[in-house]
Amino acid sequence: MALEMRPPAEDELERVLTTVEAVFGKELRQAEESLAAARATLPLDRILSVFDGSSVVGVAAAYPFSMIIPGGELPCSGVSWVGVLPSHRRRGLARDLMRRQLSELHERGEPLAALWASEAAIYGRFGYGYAVPGQRLDADRAGFAYRSDAGPVGQVRLLALDQALETLPGIYDRARPARVGVLARTLTWWREHVLSQRDEPPDSGTRFLAALELDGLPEAYAIYRVRRSWEQGLPGNTVAVQEALGTSALACKEMWRFLFSIDLSTRVTARHLDPAAPLRLGVVDPRRLRISLGDGLRLRLVDVGAALAARSWATADALIVEVHDDFCPWNNGTYRLGQDAGRASGAPALSLDVMDLASAYLGGVSISWLAAAGLVEEHTPGAVARADALLHTALPPHSPGEF
C-alpha cells in the first residue's frame, strides 16, 4: 500500500500523538489531557502525518509563534513532533516531511522556523543552523556568593498556579524585547505547556512557582522543582530550575540569589540558563557553577530575503553575499546585508550556506568563527569582518524552554 502524507483529521489526532511518543521510546499517557493541549495550541493543518493505511508512521508539526530578532519581531514556526517509527526508517520519510513542511511554511509567508534538535546531526542537512548557544548549570550550592554585593533586595513570593498564570506571562513579555530568539507565548501556551505538569515523571520532585518583587512590582520569576535526598540524616536536595527570567540585571541577580538560598539543598541545576544571567562573571567562585556550553535553539531561514529585510543592522555598511540552499532552492541567490537588505544583484563579497547564515542571523555565532571553520568563502578582502560588524547585536540570544 502506498504511503500518504497529509494533515490528520480530528479523529486521527490521538493516533498521531501515540506515534510521536513511540518515536521517542515512550507511550501516550494522560491521553485526554494531551489531546486537549494539542487542540488548544496546534491547528490540525500545521501537522503533517505519514499514513500507512490507517496507521500513522511519521509526523512533523509546526507551532505558530513569533520571535524577537535584532530590531523587531517576525513570525516563526516552532518545529516539533518530528519523527518516523523504527518500522519505516531509511525510506527518506523524514526528509520528505521536512521538505514539504518548509514549502508550506514558505507559502504561508512565515520567514523563520526554529527547533530543538533531539539528535544534533540531523537538522543541518535541512538548513537549520546552530543559532542560540545552550548553557546548562550544575552548581555546587556551597560557597555561592556574589563578588559585588550590597545584600538582598526585593521580596520573593511563592505562587499558586492561578496566581502564576496572572503574574509570570507579564514578566516574560516585558523581558522578551531584551533577548533575541525568545518566542511569544499565549496564555493558553503558558497553561498547557510551560506550567503544565502533564509530562513530568514521578521522580521529578515538587514544583514551585516564585516571583520576585522590586518596589512592589513583579520583575522576575522562577519555575523550579525540589528533588529530595537524605543520606545518613543529612539533606542533599537538588533545586532543578526549569526557567528563570527577569526584566533587568538586578531582577535576575536577586532571583538567582533566592534559588541558591533554598534550605536543605546542596545542588542547583538548570537545563536552559539565560546567557544574560549575571552568574559566571558575577560570583566569587565560577567553577562551582559548572556551566557547560552546548547547542540550543536551531534556526532556519525559510525566506532569506524577508528575514534579512526585517532585521536591523549595526553599521551603515552594505555587503552582497551569495547564499546556497540545496533543500529550499527558492532561497538560492545573492542578497544585500545592511541598508535595503534583501534580494540583490552584483558580485558577492562572500558565499555561505543558508544553515550558516541562520547561525549568524541572531548574532549568536559570528561570521569570522564560521570562516575559521572553513564554512565561508571570502571573495573580497575584509568582507568577513564587515559582515560581522553588520550582524552584531548587543542583545544576548536566548530561548527559554523547549517546545
For the annotated catalytic residues, the residue numbers are 123, 403
Residue 211 near residue 168 (C-beta atoms within 8 A): yes
Cα gap 383→192, rounded to integer Å: 46
Residue bearing cell 550550592: 141
Q: What backbone phi and psi angles, to 5 degrees, belong to 222?
A: -145, 140
Which residues sit opposite 210 in a β-bridge? 158, 222
Q: Which amino acid is at 297?
A: L
Instruction: Choose among 397, 373, 402, 401: nearest CA to 70.
Output: 397
Q: At what angle do helices 13-23 and 31-41 cross, to 10 degrees?
A: 110
Cα gap 297→131, rounded to integer Å: 6
C-alpha distances in Å from residue 266, one per residue of 70, 135, 313: 39, 20, 45
Residue 243 near residue 222 (C-beta atoms within 8 A): yes
Residue 209 near residue 240 (C-beta atoms within 8 A): no
- What's CA 78's distance to the chain center, in Å? 9
237-246: strand order across its sheet = 155-158, 206-214, 217-227, 237-246, 265-270, 133-140, 291-295
Q: How many residues does the chain have?
A: 403
Which residues sit opposite 297 in a β-bridge? 116
